[in-house]
Every structure is written in C-alpha cells, then in structure tokens.
Copies of this chain bind each other. A is one copy, B any other.
Amino acid sequence: MPGDKLTEDVIGDRFGVSRTIVRTVLARLYAEGLVDMQPNKGATIAQPSLSEAQDVFETRMCLERQVIARLAEKVTEDDMESLQRHVELETKANIHDGSAAIRLAGEFHILLASLSGNKVLARYVDEVVSRSSLILALYSRPHSSDCSINEHQQIIDALRQGDGQAAIDAMDHHLKAVADRALLSSTSDKHRDIRSILDRYAS
C-alpha cells in the first residue's frame, strides 16, 4: 500500500537478487513517480497528494486525447480486432477475477497508446496509467469496473465508425468518470484524507 517502506535488503531477499539490482529498479520507479525517495532515508511506495493526483489525471487526459486523435485517422482493421479482443478479456475477467480486471482496465489504455504508433506518447501514457492505478489504490474505495468496460466499448465503437470527435468525447467522459471515482470518494472520507496527509509529514 502507498506509504509502505521499501527496504532494499527485504526486497532483494524476496526476489533473490542483490541490493544493487533493487537500487536501480527503485531509482527507475522513483523517476516514474511510483515510489518516493528521500536521501539517506530510502524508498517508500509513493503517496501522491490530491493535487498531484489532479495533475496526473489532467495530464493523462491531454495525452490520451492525442492518442485517440491519431488513432481516429489511422486505425486499421487489425487494430480494431485486438482492441475488441481486449475488451472481451476484460468482460470475462470482470466476472471471476477482480484483480485481473483492474489490471486489464489499465492495459486497455496502454494498448490504445501503443497502437497510436507514437512511442513517446505511449511511454507517457504508460506512466500516467500506472500512477492512476496507485491513486486509485490510495483514494478510491473498491467499486465495480462494469462501467469502465462499457466506456471502453463506447470508445471502440466510435473509432470503428470513424467518428474521431465522438471517440475523443467518449475518452473524455471515461477519464472524467475514472477521476471522479478516484478523487471524489476521498473528499467524502475526510478521516482517510487527513490521515494520509499526516502520514506524509510523519515520515
């Protein structure tokens, strides 16, 4: 969970590698915003503040709109098929395996970004999707992902019909809904909010 200490020795033992390897991985995760690091105090799982979370979602929206704009102009039949297959995977996972469903929901966006063909864009989308997952873990209460799957389908449908603006609108709507589910539930749960703020300054 966010805030947990990531001791190099412990992780190294668990994965059977030395501290050196762990250090390089932690450094990369720090660069990606998934772990916090303080000099001489080591790494913890990142605890994004509410304002950081807002920044992530705003940036994510900006990036994914560009992804959709590109795809609307160049998406192929093969692309559509692999997107459709992915959504079907999501549907199946949603029934029996909650954690797989969460993972697949994120991977849908990563798939879209990689199909866009812009590698820089794809890397940034990958990053903000990962950070979004962390934010969901921190602020959101558990909820069904049925609606997400529906929204994914709507994005695909708009792309299939070649309606770029509708696809962008569908993505906007979807990401706003995700951000709502993530951030709004926290404002109604002030205890948790205050607790996490205090945790930040306590360590």
Contacts and interface: CB of A to CB of B under 8 A. Distances in A.
Contact of A120 (B24, B33, B65): B33
A192 interface: no
Interface in A99-138: 118-121, 124, 128
A92 interface: no
B56 A120 contact: yes
A120 B66 contact: no
A59 interface: yes
A112 to B, nearest CB: 15
A6 interface: no
Interface residues of A, number: 26
A4 interface: no
A52 B120 CA distance: 8
A55 interface: yes
A189 interface: no
Nearest to A30: B28
Contact of A59 (B27, B52, B121, B201): B121
A141 interface: no
A201 B66 contact: yes
Contacts of A59: 63, 66, 118, 120-121, 124
Given A31-B28, A66-B62, A69-B201, A52 B119 contact: yes
